[in-house]
Chain A
Amino acid sequence: MLFRKSVRKRWLGVKYVVKLKLNDKEIEAEKGKTLLEIALENGFDIPHLCMLKNLYYGTSCRLCLVMTSRGKLIPSCYYRVSGDEEFIVDSPELREIRRVNFELILSYHKIECWLCNRKGNCKLMDISRKLGVEGLPVCSQCPLAPDECLLTKGILCLGMITLSGCDAECITSGGQCWGCRGPVTREDILERAFRRYKELGFDLNDVLFRAEIFWNSLKEFERIREVVEKVKGDDK
C-alpha cells in the first residue's frame, strides 16, 4: 500500500463521519471538526469570544464550555471530535457557569460605550444579552455613539448611566434617554460617565435632577449622589 489509509481516503474525497449526540439531538459530523463548529451548524448557540479561526485556539475565555458524558467541562472551540460521543451543550448549569465567567470578563472591561467606535457591533454586548448579564449602559445599543452622540450636541441624555436592554428605544425614535430602566450599578462606569458629562459642559446637578425623575425612590440613588460629589471634587 503506497499511502496510509487516512491519506488515501482524503484523496478519494471520503470523509470520516462520527455520530454525535448533542443534548438530545443525534447528528452526524465530519471527523476532525471542532465541536463548536458542529454545534453552531446544528443550531446550538454556544457563546464564544476568544476563538479566532485558524489564529487562536487558546481557550482563554471559557465561555464555550460544554459538558462531556462524564460530567467534565471542556471548551468546545478546542475539542476536535474523533469518535462517537455525547455532549451536553446547553443546560441551566452550563449557562450559569458561562454567565459567571462572562461577568468576570465584563468586570475587568473598561466600559465607555459612549466613546466606542464599534457602534453596537460588539461581541461583548451580544453575549451579555444572550446570557442575560446586565450592566452595560444604554450607549452600548445606541446608534448615535460616538460621533453623533446627543451629548455632543448639548442635549442631555441619560444613556451613559442607564442600564441597557431597551435597544435604545427612545434614541432610535429621535429622543433622548430618560433613564427608565434604572441606573448601571458599577461605580466605575458611573464615575467615568459623570466625568464625561462634566467634560462636555453639563451641570452635574442638572443630570441628577433629570435622574431623580425615575430614580428618586431608589436605594442606590444615595450612592450616585456620592459619585457625583466625588467627580465634582476632582478639580480641587
Chain B
Amino acid sequence: MKAKGEVILWSLLDKCCEKCKHSKINPCPDYIECRVKGPLCHDDQKCKELRKKRIEELKYGVHGSKIRIPLSSCTLATGAEEIYNKFKEYILEKRLDTEITISGCFGLDYLDPWFEVIMKGYPAAIYVKVKGKDIPRILDEYFEKKDVSNAFALRYRTGKAKGEEKVPLLDEIDVWKKQRKWVSRNCGFINPESLEEYILSGGYSGLSRSLKMKPEEVIETILKSGLRGRGGAGFPTGLKWKITRTQPGNPKYVIANADEGDPGAFMNRLLAESDPFRIIEGLTIAGYSIGASHGYIFVRAEKPLMASRLKKAVEEARKYGLLGENILGSGFSFDIDVILSAGAFVCGEETAMLSAIEGKRAWPRQRPPYPAQQGLWGQPTAINNVETLAHVATIMSYGLEEFVKLGTEKTKGTKMFCVTGSVSRPGVYEVPVGVSIRYLVEELAGGAPEGSSIKAVQIGGPSGGCIPKDKFDLPIDYETLQSAGAIMGSGGIVVINDNNCMVDVAKFFLTFTSAESCGKCFPCRIGLRKLLDILDKITSGNGSEEDIIVLRQLANSVRNSSLCALGGTAPNPVLSTLRYFGDEYEAHIRDGVCPANVCKAFITYTIDQEVCIACGQCAMNCPVGAISKTSSGKYSVDYDRCIRCGTCFIICPVNAVQKVGKKEMVRGEVCG
C-alpha cells in the first residue's frame, strides 16, 4: 500500500540501467538471481547501490518504518480490517510516513488478530490479540517511546529498544521453535501480492534453476527427494510426473488442486493466501517437467480471498514474464488459468475435477485410465495438491539435501497440519512427517483447554478416522494412519473432547459425506444414507444389537465397492469409532445411556432446587413452555414437554440447570 501522493517507485523487477538486456521479448536466463544479487552482467556500483537501497526499502519500508498487517480469511474474521483502518487513521493523524503493507497468516490462529511493526535500527515486534482501541497506545509506545516490552515476540534484536530483553524472539517461542517451517516459511512475513518480495525472499530461484536443467533431470530430482502427494493419497509426485511425461499424446496439462473442502482444514487456503507465488512457481516447474504448456489452478469458490490472491499472482507473474512465452529465455512457454470450482466436496476428487474444468457436471469416473494417462480432454494430465507444488518449488530452490533430512524412511519432508476443535491453540502447524499425534496436539496445539480432556482426534477430515487418546504416540505418516483406520487426507486434525459422544461424531461426519455424495454410484449414494439412518436410530434410542453388525458390514461394503474415494473413505468415521469406541455404541443400545450426555433421546434437564435463584429466565426462554414455577417458588422442568433444546442450560445465570442421563433421572426419582 502506498501512501497518498507517493511517486511510483523503481522496483527490483525493473531494469537498473540501460545495460540490462532483459526484456519480455528477450528474457535473461539469470533474471531472478540478478534481481537479488545483481547486477550480474555488468559491474556498476550505482546499479548495486540502487538494488541495495530497494532491498532495504522492502525490508524496512520506504521511509524506514513499516507496519505489516495480515489480511487473510482468518485474521479478517477476527477484525483485522478494523485494525487496518485504525492504522491509517493513526498515521494520518500523526503525519507519519510509515508504510502499511499487508501480509498473510503465520498459522497461529489463536493469536489473531496480530500485526508486526518494523523500524530501521529497531527490533521488528509482533503484537498479538490486538483490539482496535489499543492501536494508538501500541504505536505510541513503539514509535515514540521505542518501547517493545508489550510485544508478544520479536523477529530479531538490535539492543536499542526498551524492554527488548523481556520479550522473546519468535524463534525462541515454543510453538514456533517446535515447528519446522519449510513450505510455509514465508507465510505471514511477506506481502502475498508482491512478486518483488517473493523474489527477494528467495522465490523463483527454483524455477530459474529448473529451467537450466533438462525436464528429465527435474523429475529425477523430485523422485530422489521422495516427495509424496500432500493431497491425500500420498502418491510419489516424481513418479506421477514421469508417467505423465512418458505418455503419448500432446498437449499435456498440469493442474493444481486447491479445492480444499474438508470441514476443519485450511492449510491450503493459508498457503495460497499468504504465499501464492510459491504455488505458481511449483506449477510452472511441474509444467516444464512433464512438457505441458498450460496449467490450471482449481480453487474452491467458497474461499474467495484465496482465489483472488491466486488470480492476482498469476497476473503479476505474467506481467514480469514468469508466465507466458519463452520464460526466462529457456524457450519454455507456459500459462495458467485460475478456475473456480463448482462448489461441492466431490470436486476435489481428481476425475470429478477434470469434468468440472471441462464444463460438465462434477462426476467422478472410474479409474483406470488414470488422469496421468487420460485426463483433461483425454490428454495426459498431472494433478497435484497445492501444498505438493509448493514443496516442489521449495525443494528446487533450497535443494533436496535439506528436505530429505526431514521426515521418515518412507515419507520425506514436512507437512502442514491444521489442528482445530477442542485445543487451546488452534492453528496451522508445519512439522516433519512422522512426529507423533501427541506432539502436534499437546506440545504444539497446547492440549485441551481447561476444564475438558481430550478423548480422540479425527484425522483426515470427514473421510478420516477417529484415533483414541491411548494411540497418541503413533507417528503421523500415510501407512501408520491407514493401519490405524484413519487417513492422512489433506492434514486436518479435529480434536474431540470428552463432552462429545462418538456416535454423534460419526453421525456428524456421515451427515456431511452423505450430503456431498455426488449420487453417481449406489453404494455411496444409498449406502451412506442407510448408515446415517442406522446411526440416527441408535442415537434416538431405538438401536438394537443387530444394528452394529449391519453397520459394520454395510460400512465395509460401501468402502470396498464405491466408485471414487469419497464413498471409499466416507465410512471410515463409523468403522474407526466402532473399532475404538464400541463401548459407547453398546451403551446407547444396551444400557440406554449416552455416556457423554449428548444424544437428546438419552438426556433430560433438571433444575437444582438448591441453586435456583428463581429468576425465571429459563421459563421465559423455554420455547415450549416446559418450565414452570413450583409451590416452593423455584422452577422445575416438565420432562414430558421438554424438547431438550438446551436453552435453559445455556441461559441460567447460576448454572442451576443440569443435564442428566434419563436413566439416572428415573433411578433418582424412584429412590427419592
Report which A residues bind B (CB closer than 8 A). Answer: 58-62, 65, 73-75, 78, 96-97, 100-101, 104-105, 107-108
Q: How close is B500's CB to chain A, nearest CB, in angstroms?
A: 29
- In whole angstroms, how far apart are the Cα atoms of A73 and B563 in the complex? 10
Give 22 A-B contacts (CB < 8 Å), ordered by A residue: A58-B363, A58-B365, A58-B520, A59-B521, A60-B522, A61-B522, A62-B522, A62-B561, A73-B560, A73-B561, A74-B366, A75-B366, A78-B366, A97-B560, A100-B523, A101-B557, A101-B561, A104-B522, A104-B523, A104-B527, A105-B522, A107-B526
Known: A73-B561, A75-B366, A107-B530. A100 touches B522 (CB 8 A): no
Which residues of chain B are near A58, meaning CB under 8 Å?
363, 365, 520
The answer to whether B523 and A101 touch across the interface, beta carbons within 8 angstroms, is yes
| CB neighbours of B553 from chain A (8 A) | 100
- For A60, give its contact among B520, B554, B557 (CB under 8 Å): B520
CB-based closest 4 A-B pairs: A104-B526, A100-B557, A59-B366, A62-B561
| A107 to B365 Cα, complex, angstroms | 24
Chain B residues lying within 8 Å of A75, measured Cβ to Cβ, are: 366, 563
Min CB–CB distance B658 → chain A (angstroms): 38
For B520, what are the chain A residues with a Cβ–Cβ distance below 8 Å?
Answer: 58, 60
A100, B554: Cβ atoms under 8 Å? yes
User: Taking chain B's interface residues, is the majority helix, strand, or loop, or is none over half, making it mixed?
Assistant: helix
| Interface 0/1 of B357-372, CB less than 8 Å to A | 0000001011000000
Using Cβ atoms and an 8 Å threshold, which residues of chain A touch B563?
Answer: 59-60, 62, 75
Task: Report A-chain residues with C-beta under 8 Å of the C-beta of B521.
Answer: 59-62
**Given A59-B366, A104-B522, A108-B526, 6 additional A-B pairs, CB 8 A:** A59-B563, A62-B522, A62-B523, A75-B366, A97-B561, A105-B522
Q: Which residues of B contact A (CB under 8 A)?
A: 363, 365-366, 520-523, 526-527, 530, 553-554, 557, 560-563
Bound-state Cα–Cα, A216 to B365, Å: 51
B510 to chain A, nearest CB (A): 15
Nearest chain-B residue to A82 (Cβ)?
B368
Closest beta carbon of chain B to A65's beta carbon, Å: 6
Give the chain A neighbours of B526 by CB distance below 8 A: 104-105, 107-108
Query: What's the nearest-Cβ distance from chain A to residue B304, in Å?
Result: 33
CB contacts (< 8 Å) of B530 on chain A: these are: 104, 107
Are B522 and A97 closer than 8 Å at their CB atoms? no
A97 CA to B561 CA in the complex, in Å? 7
Residues of A within 8 A of B365 (CB): 58-59
A73 — which chain B residues lie within 8 A by C-beta? Answer: 560-561
A73 to B530 alpha-carbon distance, docked (Å): 22
Residues of A contacting B560 in the complex (Cβ-Cβ under 8 angstroms): 73, 97
Q: Return B365 CB to nearest CB of chain A, in Å.
A: 7
Assembled-state Cα–Cα distance A101/B553 (Å) = 11
| Bound-state Cα–Cα, A62 to B520, Å | 10
Residue of A nearest to B550 (CB): A100
The distance from the CB of A96 to the nearest CB of chain B, in whole angstroms, is 8
How far apart are the CA atoms of A62 and B557 in the complex, in Å? 11
What's the Cα separation between A59 and B524 when bound, in Å? 12
The distance in angstroms between the C-alpha atoms of A105 and B530, with both chains bound, is: 11
In the assembled complex, the Cα of A184 lies from the Cα of B549 at a distance in Å of: 22
Q: A93 to B180, alpha carbons, bound, how many Å?
A: 46
Q: How far is the CB of A119 from chain B (nearest CB, A)?
A: 25
Residues of the A chain whose Cβ atoms lie less than 8 Å from the Cβ of B557: 96-97, 100-101
Closest Cβ neighbor of A104 among chain B residues: B526
Identify which of B522, B557, B562, B563 gathers the most chain A CB atoms within 10 Å of its CB. B522
Residue of B nearest to A71 (CB): B560
- Complex-state Cα separation, A73 to B554, whole angstroms: 16
Closest to B554 in A: A100
Contacts of A104 in B (CB 8 A): 522-523, 526-527, 530
Select from chain B the residue with minimum beta-carbon distance to A98: B561
Shortest C-beta distance, A94 to chain B (Å), equals: 10
- Nearest A residue (CB) for B557: A100
Q: Give the complex CA separation of A107 and B527 in angstroms.
A: 10
Chain A residues with CB under 8 Å of B554's CB are 100
The CA-CA distance from A62 to B560 in the complex, in Å, is: 10
CB distance from B112 to the nearest CB of A (A): 45
Residue of A nearest to B524 (CB): A62
Report the nearest A residue to B520, measured CB to CB.
A60
A75 to B521, CA, bound (A): 11
Pick the contact of B562: A62, A74, A78 (CB < 8 A): A62
Residues of chain B within 8 A of A60, CB atoms compared: 520-522, 563
Cα A75 to Cα B553 with chains together (Å)? 20
CA gap between A112 and B366 in the complex, in Å = 33
Which residues of chain B come closer than 8 Å to A100, judged between CB atoms? 523, 527, 553-554, 557, 561
Q: Give the shortest distance, in Å, between B361 (CB) and chain A (any CB).
A: 12
Q: Nearest-CB distance from B109 to chain A (Å)?
A: 40
**Smallest CB-CB separation from A60: which chain B residue?**
B521
**B528 (CB) vs chain A CBs: closest residue:** A104
- Whole-angstrom distance between the alpha carbons of A59 and B526 in the complex? 15
* Bound form: Cα–Cα A107–B550 in Å: 15
**B residues in contact with A65, CB < 8 Å:** 561
Nearest neighbor of B564 in chain A, beta-carbon distance: A59
Residues of A within 8 A of B522 (CB): 60-62, 101, 104-105
CA A108 to CA B533, docked complex, whole Å:
13
Q: Which residues of B contact A101 (CB under 8 A)?
A: 522-523, 527, 557, 561
Q: How far is the CA of A107 from the CA of B529 in the complex (A)?
A: 11
A101 to B526, CA, bound (A): 9
Distance between B128 CB and nearest chain A CB, rounded to angstroms = 50
By a CB distance below 8 angstroms, the chain A residues around B561 are: 62, 65, 73, 97, 100-101
Instruction: Return the chain B residue nearest A105 by Cβ.
Output: B522
A183 CB, nearest partner CB in chain B, Å: 19
Which residue of chain B has its CB nearest to the CB of A58? Answer: B520
Instruction: Report the minimal beta-carbon distance from A181 to chain B, rounded to whole angstroms.
Output: 23
Residue of A nearest to B567 (CB): A62
For the complex, give the distance between the alpha carbons of A65 and B553 in Å: 17
| Cβ of A127 to closest chain B Cβ, rounded Å | 13
> Given the complex of chains A and B, what is the CA–CA distance between A73 and B561 in angstroms?
7
Which residue on chain B has the smallest CB distance to residue A62?
A: B561
**Complex: A211 Cα to B309 Cα, angstroms:** 70
Please report the C-alpha to C-alpha distance between residue A86 and residue B554 in the assembled complex, in whole angstroms: 27
CA distance A151 to B530 in the complex (A): 34
Instruction: Kindly state the separation between the CA atoms of A224 and B523 in the bound complex, as whole angstroms.
Output: 30
| Distance A74 CA – B560 CA, assembled complex (angstroms) | 10
Q: Cα distance A93–B366 when bound, in Å?
A: 22
Please give the distance in Å from B537's CB to the nearest CB on chain A.
14
> A96 to B561, alpha carbons, bound, how many Å?
11
Task: Give the complex CA separation of A193 and B414 in angstroms.
Answer: 62
CA distance A58 to B521 in the complex (A): 9
Closest to B526 in A: A104
A105 to B521, CA, bound (A): 10
Distance between A171 CB and nearest chain B CB, rounded to angstroms: 32
Q: Which chain B positions have C-beta within 8 A of A78?
A: 366
Q: How far is the CB of A194 from chain B (nearest CB, A)?
A: 24
Chain B residue contacts of A97, Cβ below 8 A: 557, 560-561
- State in angstroms the CA–CA spacing of A108 and B363 once bound together: 21
Instruction: Tell me which residues across on chain A come within 8 A of B523, comparing CB atoms.
Output: 62, 100-101, 104
In the complex, what distance in Å separates the CA atom of A100 from the CA atom of B551? Answer: 12
In this complex, what residue of B is CB-closest to A99?
Answer: B557
- Min CB distance B114 to A, Å, is 48
A101 to B527, CA, bound (A): 8
CA separation between A79 and B551, bound complex, in Å? Answer: 30
Q: Give the complex CA separation of A186 and B516 in angstroms.
A: 27
Docked complex Cα distance between A74 and B365 (Å): 12
Q: How far is the CA of A75 from the CA of B365 in the complex (A)?
A: 12
Of the listed residues A65, A96, A104, the one surrounded by the most CB atoms of chain B closer than 10 A to its CB is A104
Q: How far is the CA of A97 from the CA of B521 in the complex (A)?
A: 14
- Bound complex: CA A193 to CA B561 (Å): 33
> Which residue on chain A has the smallest CB distance to residue B563?
A59
Q: How far is the CB of A190 from chain B (nearest CB, A)?
A: 19
Q: Which of A59, A61, A96 has the largest count of B CB atoms less than 10 A from its CB?
A: A59
Q: When chains A and B are docked, how far (Å) is the Cα of A78 from the Cα of B351?
A: 15
| A187 to B563 alpha-carbon distance, docked (Å) | 30
What residues on B are CB-neighbors of A74 within 8 Å? 366
Q: How far is the CB of B417 from chain A (nearest CB, A)?
A: 29
